[in-house]
A and B are shown apart, each in its own frame.
Chain A
Amino acid sequence: MTVLDTRVGSQYDSSGHPEVVNDFSIVIATVNGSGSQTANNTIIRSIFKMGIPVNGKNIFPSNISGLPTWYTVRVSKDGYVARRQETEILVAFNVQTADADLQSLREGGACFYPDDYTFLNPRNDVVYYPLPVKQLVKESGADIKLKDYIANMVYVGGLAEILGIDLGKIKEALVKHFNGKAKPVELNYGVVSKAADYVRQNLPKKDIYKVAPLDLTNGKILIEGNTAAGLGALFGGVSLVSWYPITPSTSVVDTINEYLRELRTDPASGKLTCAVVQAEDEIAAIGMLVGAGWAGCRAMTATSGPGLSLMTEFAGLAYFAEVPLVIWDIMRMGPSTGLPTRTSQGDILTAYFLGHGDTRHVCLLPGNMQECFDFGITSLDLAEHLQTPVFVLSDLDFGMNLWMTEPFQYPEKPLDRGKVLSEDDLKRLGSFKRYADIEGDGVGWRTLPGNPHPMSAYFSRGTGHNAEAAYSERPDDWEENLHRLARKHDTARILVPKPVIQTRTGANIGVIAYGSSDPAVVEACDLLQTQGVSADYLRLRALPLEETTSKFIESHEIVFVVEMNYDGQMHKLLQIHSPEHAARLKSVAHCDGLPFTAQFITEKVMSNFQ
């Protein structure tokens, strides 16, 4: 205790301040590559297992080791899972950023740090918990290679003791993390337990923050969006995956590879019912999808902005040759290096219009973990139904962070394989025109290569074909084809997932958002209510935009469009969609690499009324 007093001087006096239970944020600052992920996952899982709503976000660099990483944990009795601007608890385990991190702590907050570090500018309005990291690591007897990993367990023990995290739950979380392997569980838990003992004996609690068990996470699971996406694809019957590694999409395909043997082994032969090919680049990845989709596979890839750029030409070809395929775009900042590991919703316009010529693509916008799973299935169904590329636009925040969700429900709808003519169909029909619009929905019937009927074969190309798929440079043939593709887009408009609307009685404004902005918008709507502004909220789930959205805009005097990009990309699409109400649409766009906070959205909306 004397050490504490001489190093950081006087501290915050919490006497007279009420306890804050299950409602604060923790920031864990470490150096990337130091293995803090195990420790951070342990914290979030143990809090989750105590029944307390929680969310974790990893703010990390594009680097293998040595650069600063911040892991933020939000604990919320109210179930809010968006990022917060304030930090109540700081784990300052990165000496490069420790002093700056300390400045971001709110008054009365608690700072955990290795006891051999000296702050250059210590504050006297926070509480300090110096942890004897080196000593505890030494005592653990861990192998030198594991030193850094074990050091992180010291802050787990410190947080557990001070905040009241159940050590039993921490052990459960470690068992889960290490798949039940006793040795690493014992080693890690040993350090957690020693650190907790040390704190209990030497560092009395002086801050006001604590956790207490609730029953709000019963039956729920914690999952990353990319895991949900990969599982969705596997349960959606994907049969060819081709991809090129790119952050933050890689874990979609990692998931597919992880579960491939378990889920997609043919029992008779022991072989796989899905091909997974790591391509040489994104051009080849989508090229394989076009070939496979044309020949009858349910084909998908996962990529991010730069990969999307490389896929442009093939996406356009698939659109005009009318080949089904699915592209998951896990959006991030772009281009090039700098902020590739930071989140964004910046590919809306690129994805919607990808290609040259007049292309407009179906884009799905998952807004939670359930939808990341569901849209893994829906996208494959829609692609084959509409014979076109379908994009699923998730982002880094959803894709690479752990989120609470109800367990996923098994799909009840059978696979939609679209309009495919068999040999028997052709015999019965007696004629076949690949691009004829028989039903008036803009979607033609197709045959697959290998169909033995003499009429089955057709020749695919990008532009310049007539309804029979014959080469044609006639202006009227091509214009007719474009009219049909426009009808097909209108068919898509009806088939894509409808927006979800949350209404409030006496609402005086509307809010439109999509994707991972949802948690912050939900919280912001509650905050606005406390400030006398009542908001109806429409969450978009797909492009093309449809009637529900136009009606929503029509029925609100002012509609705020909240999104994580600089230009307000969806805002612009909405203005094009509802030109007569374009002036009602106000853009709340923001792009700094970090997920939205409810406070930011609330302030932006309120500034319109001041």
Chain B
Amino acid sequence: MTAAVKEPGAGGSKLNLLGFDRTEYKGKPSTLCSGCGHDSVASQIIAVAWELSLQPHRVIKTSGIGCSSKSPAYFLNRSHGFNSLHGRMPSLTTGAVLANKELLAIGVSGDGDTGSIGLGQYKHLLRRNVPMVYIIENNGVYGLTKGQFSATADEGQKLKYAGVNELPPIDLCLEAIASGCGFVARSFAGDAKQVRELLKAALSYKGGTAVLDIISPCITFNNHEESTKSYSYGKANEERLHDISFIEPQGEIVVDYEEGTAREVRMHDGSTIVLRKLSEDYNPQDRNAAISKLEESQANQEFITGLLYINEGRKRIHEALHIVDTPLAHLNEAQLRPPREALDKIMADMN
């Protein structure tokens, strides 16, 4: 896919449909370790937001605590952001999205933030189907506290600080599907193209929460030879379920493929996800197949990536709560305060 291009900006840079060049989507300089997977995710977010011509003021960036949660500061400077509490990004984002349904929330979390301290909030957010993109930058390790295992670390993994991990991992994609999430994908920070296409699909998804679990190597604490969350392991072992291309509503399908070699998933906003078959014909609209596939891959310690599950049919939280279409944050006094007669009536009924 090529981005819609209007005219060259200052310095010859390309402009998107809004007339913004890419710098409008940048953030503060990263303070993460050089080579951190999270930085490559942040740069893909910038690229995709520019490419999709997202209005920066319509985006909110939220996070919990941890290395991953620092990253919202490193993209989309022109969007409001909130670096909240460890494991509590889901509830904070729920409140913000309820306050203003016109906001597009990008929540960034980590494997500790989501898989341990925030597992309850993660599952309840998915149960409520809060419209947002939920990115997990998953490296299997606690970086800021210098190298403890997280709950997504594979069994038998070794770390200098923590020794051998004796416990099985929690698969956050499996948890998402079990909780009724309608967009579940896994990718690898070292697979920039796939991350980008999945991000575009997730940002265009209108069915509720979109979960993107990105294996994002920790260059400092978990990138050694035997690690299953390292760059080298990812590059050698990533098994793509399909080649994924995202096509915007107004875009032409320029990805060429032979009849019967790809699946097309049309989304409610008119965009299309094209999934070109690889080793097997994987159907991401089959919930049971997705669960089986994830359980299989966990048992065999296989690293599968791609769009695992998609379903736009679930009710979102705004519908479940029957709230008005106008953002609650924009309601005026006349809409928020019932009239005098209403109080008089209640008082009279109590007499």
Contacts and interface: CB of A to CB of B under 8 A. Distances in A.
Interface string A235-246: 111111010000
Contacts of B77: 457
A271 B328 CA distance: 11
B83 interface: yes
Contact of B100 (A222, A273, A288, A295): A295
B323 A297 contact: no
Nearest to B76: A457
Contacts of A272: 321-324
A287 B98 contact: no
B121 A291 contact: no
Nearest to B27: A459
Contacts of B12: none
Given A234-B338, A295-B103, A408-B343, A289 B95 contact: yes
Interface string B68-83: 0000110001111111
A448 interface: yes
B25 to A, nearest CB: 12
Given A237-B337, A291-B62, A269 B325 contact: yes
Contacts of B166: none
B58 interface: yes
Contacts of B96: 291-292, 294-295, 449
Given A415-B333, A415-B336, A449 B323 contact: no
Contacts of A219: 351
Contacts of A457: 56-57, 77-81
A18 interface: no
Contacts of A439: none
Interface in A527-573: none
Given A272-B321, A291-B93, A450-B103, A237 B333 contact: yes
B60 A277 contact: no
A459 B83 contact: yes
A300 to B, nearest CB: 12
B100 A314 contact: no
Contact of B91 (A269, A287, A458): A287
B95 A237 contact: no
Given A291-B93, A314-B88, A297 B329 contact: yes
B346 A231 contact: yes
B124 interface: yes
B255 to A, nearest CB: 34
Contact of A414 (B55, B317, B321, B333): B333
A435 to B, nearest CB: 15
Nearest to B337: A237
A222 B80 CA distance: 47
Nearest to A285: B91
Given A277-B94, A460-B83, A295 B321 contact: no
A239 B99 contact: yes
Contacts of B327: 296, 450
A459 B83 CA distance: 8
Contact of B321 (A277, A317, A415): A277
Interface residues of A, number: 73
Contacts of B100: 295-296, 448-450
B225 to A, nearest CB: 35
B283 to A, nearest CB: 32
Interface in B183-208: none
Contacts of A456: 57, 80
Nearest to B59: A449
A295 B333 contact: no
Interface in A87-101: none
Interface string B93-131: 111111110110000000000000000110010001000
B28 A471 contact: yes
Contacts of B103: 295, 449-450
A298 interface: yes
Contact of A317 (B85, B124, B344): B85
Contacts of A451: 57
B10 interface: no
B347 interface: yes
Interface string A219-258: 1111100000001001111111010000000000000000
A271 B28 CA distance: 41
Nearest to A323: B82
A274 B336 CA distance: 8
A295 B338 contact: no
B299 interface: no
A184 interface: no
28 contacts: A236-B337, A237-B337, A238-B336, A240-B95, A262-B342, A263-B338, A266-B335, A271-B324, A271-B325, A280-B124, A284-B120, A284-B124, A285-B91, A286-B91, A287-B121, A291-B92, A292-B95, A295-B99, A317-B84, A321-B82, A410-B343, A448-B329, A449-B79, A449-B96, A452-B55, A454-B78, A456-B57, A457-B56
Given A294-B82, A457-B77, 7 more contacts: A272-B321, A280-B120, A290-B92, A291-B96, A297-B328, A298-B336, A321-B82
10 closest A-B pairs (Cβ-Cβ)? A287-B91, A291-B95, A296-B329, A237-B336, A288-B95, A292-B95, A295-B99, A291-B96, A407-B347, A449-B80
